[in-house]
Amino acid sequence: MSENSSSRRSGFDRRAFVAGVAGSALVPLTARAVAQDAKAPAAQDPALPVDVTLRVNGKDKRLQLDARTTVLDALREHLKLTGSKKGCDHGQCGACTVLIDDRRVVSCLTLALAAEGQEITTIEGLATNDRLHPMQQAFIDNDAFQCGYCTPGQIMSALACVKEGHAGSDADIREYMSGNICRCAAYPNIVAAVKQAAPEIMKG
Amino acid sequence: MRPFSYQRASDPDMAVRALSAAAAASNPLTKAAAQPLAGGTTLIDLMKLDVMRPAAIVDINSLAQGWSAIEPGSEALRLGALAKMSDVAAHAEIERNYPVIANSLKLAASAQLRNMATLAGNVMQRTRCSYFRDVSYENCNKRNPGSGCAAMDGVNRMHAVLGTSDQCVATYPGDFAQALVALDAMVEITGKAGTRSMPFAQLHKTPGNTPDIETMLQPGELISAFSVPGQWPRSVYLKARDRQSYEFALSSAAVALDVQGGTIRDARVALGGVATVPWRAREAEALLKGQKFDDGLAQRVADAAFADAKGRQHNGFKIALGKRVVMRALQQAVTMEIRS
Amino acid sequence: MTAAAPEPKANMGQPVPRYDAASKVTGRATYASDMPLDNPAHAFLVTSAIAKGRVDSFDLDDARAVRGVIDIVTHENAPKLKESKLFSNGGYAGTTIQPLKSADIAHDGQIIAVVIAESYEAAREAANRVKVSYTAVAPSASFGSPGTTTAAAKGQNAQFKEDPQVGDFARAFDEAEVKLTASYDTPPQHHNPMELFTTSCAWMGDNLVIYEGSQYVYGLKNGVAEQLGIDADKVRVVNPYVGGGFGSRGSMTPRTAIIAGIAKRLNRPIKLVPTRDQGFTITTHRAETRHEIRLGASRDGKLVALRHEGAEVSSRPDAYCVGGTKTTTRLYACPNVASLVSIVRADRNTPGFMRSPPEVPYLFALESAMDELAVKLNMDPVELRRINDTTVEPIGGKPYTSRSLMACFDEAAKAFGWSQRSPQPKSMSDGDWLIGYGCAATCYPTQMAPSAARVRLQRDGRTRVEIAGHEIGTGAYTVIAQTAAERLGVPLDKVAVFLGDSELPPAPVAGGSNSTASTCSAVMMVCDQIRQRLFKAVMPSDSLTDKAKETVGLSQAPSTQAAKSDRPLDIEKAFDALGAGVVEEYGEWKPEGAPLDSFKAMHSGHARIVGGHAMKDKIAYAFGAEFVEVRINRFTHEIRCPRLVGAFAAGRIMNPRTARSQLMGGLIWGMSSALLEATEIDQRNARYVNDNLADYLVPVNADVAGVEVILLSEQDDHINPAGAKGLGELANVGTNAAICNAIYHATGQRIRKLPVRLENIEA
């Protein structure tokens, strides 16, 4: 490949996409709507915001969102729940980990529309009445963070790790906590925290 | 990310209709205007990178009710397309009778991604070629047919040594598909005309002159299930990588053996991380059948598996590595204790 | 007590939990992109797809047509910004390549346009729709590329003043009984802190607030003001929490003033959240380096000759270099030393500090060479270090203020089980795994910089400490709170600490491991000012000796038993005597040897860092020893590092908990650097290829098994009032060499190029 005095354009031709855009067979934009919904518009400008109701930490939140909004951006930019962090936006770091219907997922690759009707739990939903969750306390006791940026994701992931039954050994914890990158490298302390909290979480 | 219309399909018919409606005949599946959304771990990722630009997204997660069953049977294992990787990986009967499947899933991605990703989405995941994923490179035959291949003489440590063409050297990145291809799985496809089945080995297409066409799946078609004949308790998935976890394979091997009285009655070998598609090493398998295992045989099998391999500037090591991975996987399969 | 909180030894503070722990585990800690803004517009960057050349034209029609797009800024309509000099030339900038100034492109991924839209989604879409026509020129990518130029660092980099040398290296090497010549390579690396390089700018009239993760809020404030051509008092930088720095946020990058200028023009707050891959090119990185080491020794292991030549890649306009020969020429006793550092200019962005900038690449070379020499001498590598240990650095003959290198080696060797090692290469294994043990010395200069602080003490003991320091994960809040509590004799939970705001009294850049020493020394000094005022109010001036005033603490618990001179001062009584409700003091502290303009410079965002080898009649370093076990799979050649043991002596340890964590992180960073991290460059077009967290590999939890940190007790009264040497950069220095030395032990193969990947291991 020669770079010499070549003229280049970024991006590629999008004509390929002009044909066959969402036609009449397609049903509406809001997630709850189904094909049978007669009131649904046949076609709508996809760039317009759509109504979404997200259930976050036990509360329904009505929002108008661009259909492209991820759960992460919905939480951070629209619900001001900034505990979940953006570290890569591509499912490569785990900083945005939340629970959806009690399963840990990366919220950066989850469309808000697709999460409608599901229960989203974030770091803000863990402490009750200002009492820290045992996993939060364990992270403090074991100094399981430094800069703290990955910590909400680590804690949500750790909670799921225990509930999935993957906290039985150090090796298991290490493997099943590997979806959460900690650049400060607090890993040994994170393992210790998960071990400390596991019995209490399994009890209650 | 381009704007798209979003809809949830409540049943397979609706999903197929929605996906077909937006399909333009001239487009390969990867550029179909409507794309199905399951776990989203490939689609949303590539849409953010502007690599995929569907005008419509059809959320098929509601189909999981009918399409996510995990059904082990004495004749065959049936896996719903929308079963989550984590659920299949943790299924006790799969761990027991198909360790190659369970481990291929467990060693893939991260716990979070395995919770999201479905089996069908996983086998359909697209290459991790850096040049494919970066739209600022015009020259990618997979994205822009006929534009050239930046990876061919670029940084290609992660690229394929088997199944390549002069158009594309992008590696098929998955793990689970190696287990399926090794075990002679069938894939069930649901489309406008109903349901059809084909050998999983035929699903993926090597790049040849059309790297943009990655599978036999047509726009408007969905994978609805996989079935795996027989049981393979003596099976192994071995994956070599730089990092201990959360990384794509540099080289992997799915090996399944049927050993009776020290003689190998049947053998399956598939390779990952080294090929453009889930790669079945049939010539290598043939050397195993009817033989007693020893290290010399393992070496011959490994050599056969990589006989046609072609390395490039940075990935030549994958040939030697791949052979050692095959040998070690064979040894592990031969010596593993079968839980009954 | 958990392993996370080691029992303090002599000259160590208490291992109290982090001051900011609850905020960090609840998601309440607010990083730059978490700050609420009033109706922000969202920015998305467009970066260049070529490394050298120019933009011929933009086609913005598609992009402008995207619903919600407010503006698209290119060089044709960008806010006019003044230039800022490179920090090493007295400026603030990490690069003098100023994007959007012209159509010129000087490196891959340079900012060429900024899209502003009502939503993040619209801004991103429009950015993707920007079409650019370039004239591309073949770029020089790195070492060995056509078109690079090479010249000595001395004379072109103001901070690199000399190539250290002493004696007659050539002759001594020629005559040496045992000789070693070896070359080493290190790759480009990127910091990749977890927090993205976000910037939000909001104007209120003529006043600008910047929310950006920064390791130097005063530098950023003054730098942006300079670029905008406004008074620095109009600019405020706020970042109470920083999601990791590692050097990436130490100097100003071009993005900040650009966003500030656009926000001003649009009269609207702007929030920029660059993508991870953009972070690879809009900030700095650790440059690739090459080294040649020559060692000459007597048969009994005494070094008689040492030469270290290093070369580093920098950008075309900026002569950045780290020049680690200042350390490697002084680490061991050796009468004949020579060195040379060169800078190779390529079409790349300007590199910058990354955790232990000089020491990581340069000690990798020296400590690998020392291991190679030990092999040649058939000598235990620990003993080779012992033979060449010194209390006086060889170049200037200055004494180390303290040096516990061999104590660290002995402690770490014991904990590691070094004596179990069979010295022969390839002699240890376990099943599928070849085992190797290796070790190396680690060190980092003790550095300090002028710092101010404000402390306010209330009658009820509540204390407020204000200082524009930075919480980048080091535990700054915690050790500052501890320092104030100790000095004022108030309970720790009554101390509130405020950091990360340029409205607070200035602190130096959180870099070069100087923060704790500098900020805590300033806080101590200001606390003493408060004590002095209270003592003066309550006691006749001669009733306490000066010494007693220094040592007697304030306390709310009056002690009637204690002798008069030892009696803690009752704060309430003192306040009554003073007739005050609040005592507040501000003070400016500077380390010994700091230049005359220190305080002025401090306020204008220039940290006059002193210490290390550059002190007048002494040299100050922290030391450590690191031992590692590597395991190499016989079949796959996968390399794992299940055990890392480090012993460190760094003066006063303010808090053994945060210290252990930081050193542990450092050891893992070192392992990562040795085995995983490298930014891959496409040599054809000088572009980064693996610019994401799936391909730029950093360790995950499963990569780390056993890490042991041993804190040695060390007291050093010759460095700074806090007695602290700094820890942030100490631990990741020696690990690279220790791992390669262990790989040699496991395989008999000496690998001199980082990172070591499985394909580098021969059958």
Q: Is residue B148 part of a domain?
A: no
- Are A111 and B6 a contacting pair at CB < 8 A? yes
Number of helices (H), then strands (E), belonging to chain B: the values are 13, 12
- Rounded to a whole number of angstroms, the distance from the CA of A143 to the nearest CA of chain B is 23
Same domain, B69 and B58: no
| pLDDT exceeds cutoff 50 at A14 | no
The pLDDT of residue C540 is 60
Residues of chain A in contact with residue B1, where contact means CB-CB under 8 angstroms, are 68
* Distance of alpha carbon C260 from alpha carbon C243, whole angstroms: 21
Give the lowest-confidence range in C550-564, C597-611, C626-640, C697-711.
Answer: C550-564
Work out the pLDDT band at C572, boundaries 50, 70, 90.
confident
Active site members of C: 729
Helix (H, G, I), strand (E, B) or coil at A119: strand
Query: Helix-strand-coil percent breakdown of chain C, rounded to 5?
Result: 30, 25, 45
Please choose, from the candidates B122, B131, B133, the residue with its C-alpha nearest in 3D space to the C-alpha of residue B50.
Answer: B133
- Phi, psi (5° rounding) for residue B248? -70, 155
Mapped to the 3 state alphabet, what secondary structure does C559-597 carry?
A: CCCCCHHHCCEEHHHHHHHHCCCEEEEEEEECCCCCCCC
Same domain, B203 and B74: yes
CATH topology for the A47-125 domain? Ubiquitin-like (UB roll) (3.10.20)
Helix (H, G, I), strand (E, B) or coil at A162: helix
| pLDDT exceeds cutoff 70 at A18 | no
Same domain, B203 and B324: no
Nearest-by-Cβ selection for A20 from B4, B33, B44: B33
| pLDDT exceeds cutoff 80 at B77 | yes
Q: Sheet of B34-37: strands edge to edge?
A: B5-8, B56-59, B34-37
Same domain, B298 and B265: yes
Residues of chain C in contact with residue B327, where contact means CB-CB under 8 angstroms, are 635
Single-letter amino acid, residue C7: E
Is C242:C249 a contact under the CB 8 Å cutoff?
A: yes
CATH number at residue B265: 3.30.390.50
Q: What is the CA radius of gyration of chain A?
A: 21
- Phi, psi (5° rounding) for residue B229? -75, 145
- C residues 636-665 closer than 8 Å to A (CB): 657-658, 660-662, 664-665
- Are C669 and A81 a contacting pair at CB < 8 A? no
- Residues of C at the B interface, defined by Cβ within 8 angstroms: 49, 121, 124-125, 128, 277, 432, 633, 635-638, 640, 675-676, 680-682, 684, 689-690, 694-695, 697, 699-703, 757-759, 763
* C39-51: average pLDDT: 98
| Pick among B41, B112, B155 to test the C interface (most C CBs inside 10 A) | B155
Same domain, B106 and B192: yes
| Domain boundary, last residue among B62, B95, B111 | B62
| pLDDT exceeds cutoff 60 at A33 | no
* Distance of alpha carbon B237 from alpha carbon B107, whole angstroms: 9
CATH number at residue B95: 3.30.465.10
Enclosing H/E stretch for C747: helix C735-747
- pLDDT-above-70 percentage for chain C: 96
Residue in chain C lying closest to A155 (CA)? C25
* C704-731: average pLDDT: 96
| pLDDT exceeds cutoff 60 at A1 | no
Is B166:B176 a contact under the CB 8 Å cutoff?
A: no
- B residues 48-107 closer than 8 Å to A (CB): 48-50, 53-59, 61, 86, 90
CB neighbour class for C287 (10 Å; exposed up to 12, middle 13-18, buried from 19): buried
- Per-residue pLDDT of C54-79, as tens digits, reads 999 999 999 999 999 999 999 999 99
The pLDDT of residue A38 is 35
Q: Is residue B302 part of a domain?
A: yes
Contact residues for C728 (Cβ-Cβ < 8 A; gap 6+): C355, C474, C513, C515, C662, C666
The DSSP 8-state label assigned to residue C673 in this structure reads: H
Is C654:C482 a contact under the CB 8 Å cutoff?
A: yes
Largest CA distance in chain C: 84
- Are B55 and A176 a contacting pair at CB < 8 A? no
Q: Which domain holds residue B21?
A: 5-62
Q: Is residue B116 part of a domain?
A: yes
Q: Which two tokens stand for residue C362?
A: 């340069």
| Pick among A184, A191, A195 to test the C interface (most C CBs inside 10 A) | A184
Work out the pLDDT band at A17, boundaries 50, 70, 90.
very low
Please choose, from the candidates C355, C193, C191, C401, the residue with its C-alpha nearest in 3D space to the C-alpha of residue C735.
Answer: C355
* A97-119: average pLDDT: 98
Q: Which residue shows structure tokens 């009637």?
A: C560
* C405-418: average pLDDT: 98
CATH number at residue B18: 3.30.43.10
Please choose, from the candidates C678, B83, C694, the residue with its C-alpha nearest in 3D space to the C-alpha of residue A94.
Answer: C694
Scored b (16 or more CB within 10 A) or e, B225-263 reads bbbbeebbbbbbbbbbbbbbbbbbbbbbbbbbbbbeeee
Same domain, B94 and B33: no
Q: What is the mean pLDDT of chain B?
A: 96
State how many domains chain B has. Answer: 3
- Are B247 and C694 a contacting pair at CB < 8 A? yes
Is B254:B272 a contact under the CB 8 Å cutoff?
A: yes
Please choose, from the candidates C629, C617, C566, C625, the residue with its C-alpha nearest in 3D space to the C-alpha of residue C592.
Answer: C617
Please choose, from the candidates B334, B333, B325, the residue with its C-alpha nearest in 3D space to the C-alpha of residue B239.
Answer: B325
| Pick among C42, C695, C760 to test the B interface (most B CBs inside 10 A) | C695
- Are A2 and C138 a contacting pair at CB < 8 A? yes
- Per-residue pLDDT of B138-171, as tens digits, reads 999 999 999 999 999 999 999 999 999 999 999 9
Same domain, B247 and B212: no
Q: Is residue B217 part of a domain?
A: yes
| pLDDT exceeds cutoff 90 at C121 | yes
Contact residues for C533 (Cβ-Cβ < 8 A; gap 6+): C578, C583, C585
Residues of chain C in contact with residue A183, where contact means CB-CB under 8 angstroms, are 192-194, 244, 246, 698
The answer to whether the Cα torsion of A96, A98, A103, A104 is positive or negative is: positive
Nearest-by-Cβ selection for A145 from C24, C66, C196: C24
Q: State how far Cα B290 lies from the chain centre.
A: 29
Cis-peptide, bond into residue C755, ω within 30° of zero: yes
Q: Is residue B283 part of a domain?
A: yes
Domains of chain C: 1-12+400-446+620-763 (3.30.365.10), 32-139+195-278 (3.90.1170.50), 448-614 (3.30.365.10)
Name the residue with higher pLDDT: A123 or A5: A123
Same domain, B286 and B326: yes
* Distance of alpha carbon C447 from alpha carbon A146, whole angstroms: 22
Residues of chain A in contact with residue B115, where contact means CB-CB under 8 angstroms, are 103-105
What are the DSSP calls for C401-446, one per residue? S---HHHHHHHHHHHHTGGG---STT--EETTEEEEEEEEEEEEE-
| pLDDT exceeds cutoff 70 at B339 | no
| pLDDT exceeds cutoff 50 at B188 | yes
Is C289:C361 a contact under the CB 8 Å cutoff?
A: yes
Whether residue C758 lies within 8 A of chain A, CB to CB, comes out as no
The pLDDT of residue C543 is 54
CB neighbour class for A5 (10 Å; exposed up to 12, middle 13-18, buried from 19): exposed
Is C558:C568 a contact under the CB 8 Å cutoff?
A: yes
Please choose, from the candidates C390, C584, C410, the residue with its C-alpha nearest in 3D space to the C-alpha of residue C484.
Answer: C584
Same domain, B318 and B258: yes
> Measured at the alpha carbon of residue C382, what is the angle toward residues C380 and C386, in degrees to the nearest 5?
115
Same domain, B263 and B189: no
The pLDDT of residue C342 is 98
- pLDDT-above-90 percentage for chain A: 74
Residues of chain B in contact with residue A161, where contact means CB-CB under 8 angstroms, are 111
Give the lowest-confidence range in A21-30, B88-97, C196-205, C691-700.
Answer: A21-30
Is A182:A145 a contact under the CB 8 Å cutoff?
A: yes
* C518-524: average pLDDT: 97
- Rounded to a whole number of angstroms, the distance from the CA of B263 to the nearest CA of chain A is 35
The pLDDT of residue C486 is 93
Is C220:C84 a contact under the CB 8 Å cutoff?
A: no
* Distance of alpha carbon C550 from alpha carbon C538, whole angstroms: 15
- B residues 285-324 closer than 8 Å to A (CB): none
Same domain, B109 and B246: no
| pLDDT exceeds cutoff 80 at C555 | no
* B196-212: average pLDDT: 98
Work out the pLDDT band at A128, boundaries 50, 70, 90.
confident
Single-letter amino acid, residue C19: Y
Q: Which two tokens stand for residue C664?
A: 């542990």
Name the residue with higher pLDDT: A15 or C504: C504
Chains contacting C (3 or more CB pairs within 8 Å): A, B
| pLDDT exceeds cutoff 60 at C438 | yes
The pLDDT of residue B26 is 65
The pLDDT of residue A20 is 32
* Distance of alpha carbon B223 from alpha carbon C27, whole angstroms: 40
- B residues 24-43 closer than 8 Å to A (CB): 24, 27, 31, 33-34, 37, 39-41
- Are A106 and B59 a contacting pair at CB < 8 A? no
Q: Report the 10 Å Cβ neighbour count for C194.
A: 29
**Angle between helices A134-141 and A187-203 in degrees, nearest 10:** 150
* Interstrand relation of C569-570 and C554-555 (parallel, antiparallel or unpaired): parallel
Query: Helix-strand-coil percent breakdown of chain B, rounded to 5?
Result: 30, 25, 45
State the count of interchain CB pairs (< 8 A) between B and C: 80
- Rounded to a whole number of angstroms, the distance from the CA of A121 to the nearest CA of chain B is 14
The answer to whether the Cα torsion of B275, B279, B283, B288 is positive or negative is: positive
The pLDDT of residue C554 is 59
Work out the pLDDT band at A29, boundaries 50, 70, 90.
very low
Whether residue B217 lies within 8 A of chain C, CB to CB, comes out as no
* B282-300: average pLDDT: 97
- Are A104 and B112 a contacting pair at CB < 8 A? yes
Q: Which residue shows structure tokens 């002699």?
A: C427
Residues of chain C in contact with residue B57, where contact means CB-CB under 8 angstroms, are none
Work out the pLDDT band at B24, boundaries 50, 70, 90.
low
Work out the pLDDT band at B34, boundaries 50, 70, 90.
very high
Contact residues for C61 (Cβ-Cβ < 8 A; gap 6+): none
Give the lowest-confidence range in A10-24, B118-132, C73-87, C548-562.
Answer: A10-24
* C361-384: average pLDDT: 98
Residues of chain A in contact with residue C692, where contact means CB-CB under 8 angstroms, are 88, 90, 92
The pLDDT of residue C286 is 98
- Per-residue pLDDT of C645-688, as tens digits, reads 999 999 999 999 999 999 999 999 999 999 999 999 999 999 99
* A111-135: average pLDDT: 95
Q: Which two tokens stand for residue C698?
A: 């950093």
Enclosing H/E stretch for C511: none
CATH topology for the A134-203 domain? DNA polymerase; domain 1 (1.10.150)
This prediction has a pTM of 0.95
Same domain, B24 and B37: yes
Contact residues for C675 (Cβ-Cβ < 8 A; gap 6+): B242, C639, C641, C739, C755, C756, C757
- Per-residue pLDDT of C232-280, as tens digits, reads 999 999 999 999 999 999 999 999 999 999 999 999 999 999 999 999 9
The pLDDT of residue A13 is 33
Contact residues for A162 (Cβ-Cβ < 8 A; gap 6+): A135, A194, A197, A198, A201, A202
| Domain boundary, last residue among B34, B62, B90 | B62
- Are A186 and C129 a contacting pair at CB < 8 A? no
* Distance of alpha carbon C639 from alpha carbon C758, whole angstroms: 6
Domain ranges of chain A: 47-125, 134-203
| pLDDT exceeds cutoff 70 at A3 | no
Please choose, from the candidates C517, C354, C391, the residue with its C-alpha nearest in 3D space to the C-alpha of residue C446.
Answer: C517
Residue in chain A lying closest to B144 (CA)? A12
* Distance of alpha carbon C393 from alpha carbon C164, whole angstroms: 11
- Phi/psi-derived region of residue B146, left when phi > 0, alpha when psi is between -120 and 50, beta in every other case: left
